[in-house]
Structures are given as structure tokens and as C-alpha cells.
Amino acid sequence: MLQLNDNLLAEHGLVRGVLGLAEPESTGDPVWDAAVAALVAWRLGAESIPLPAWVDEPGRFLGVPRMLEVDPADPVPPRSEVPDEFAERGVLAWRDTFASV
């Protein structure tokens, strides 16, 4: 996820859009599948790049919001700390999870 995030942020315009075009295979975990779609939607949306259809497929949304468990000790983030694209897909992930270090 972090590498995908960094790759998307490193590019702009058409190249960023091309990076998000191909639908990745399922991770086998609905939370992570929704998170991948949310990340692509977030980073493409930041530049008003049209989203590929796969990010809005029903399997990329959770029926019940769940934490993106990166560290089991992490508390549930408040809505204000969750990017909209993640919240819309039911993934509760801290915005700063995706900050490169």
C-alpha cells in the first residue's frame, strides 16, 4: 500500500492515471481490497483524474466499516482523520498512515 501510494504521488496527470488503470488482483481480504480502491480513488481524485471503473465495483466497498489494521495497538481513527475515499468504502484508516517517511 505504501509503495502504491508513493508511486501515485510521484507522478502527475496522465501518468498517475495510467498507474491506477489496471485492477489489481484481490488480496483475499475485503478490507485491504477496499483500501486499495480507496487509495487509488484518493490519489487520482486529488488531480481530478477520472477514476477507473474497478475502484467503484461493489466488492470494493465494505458493508460495515472496519479498521485497516496496520498496528493492532492503533485506536480507531475519528472520521476527521480518515480520507473521504476510505470512509466511503468503509475503511477506517488514519490519513497519516500514508505519509512517507
pTM of the predicted structure, to 2 decimals: 0.91
Average pLDDT, the chain: 92
Q: Which value, to the nearest 10 degrees, does the dihedral of the CA atoms of residues 39, 40, 44, 45 take?
A: -50
Q: What is the pLDDT of residues 12-37, one digit of tens each?
A: 998 999 989 999 999 999 999 999 99
The parent domain of residue 78 ranges over 2-98
CA angle 91, 96, 101 (to 5 degrees): 130
Report the domain count for the chain: 1
Bigger pLDDT: 36 vs 68: 36
Percent of the chain whose predicted confidence (pLDDT) is above 70: 99
- Please tell me the predicted confidence (pLDDT) of residue 101: 65
- Please tell me the predicted confidence (pLDDT) of residue 73: 82
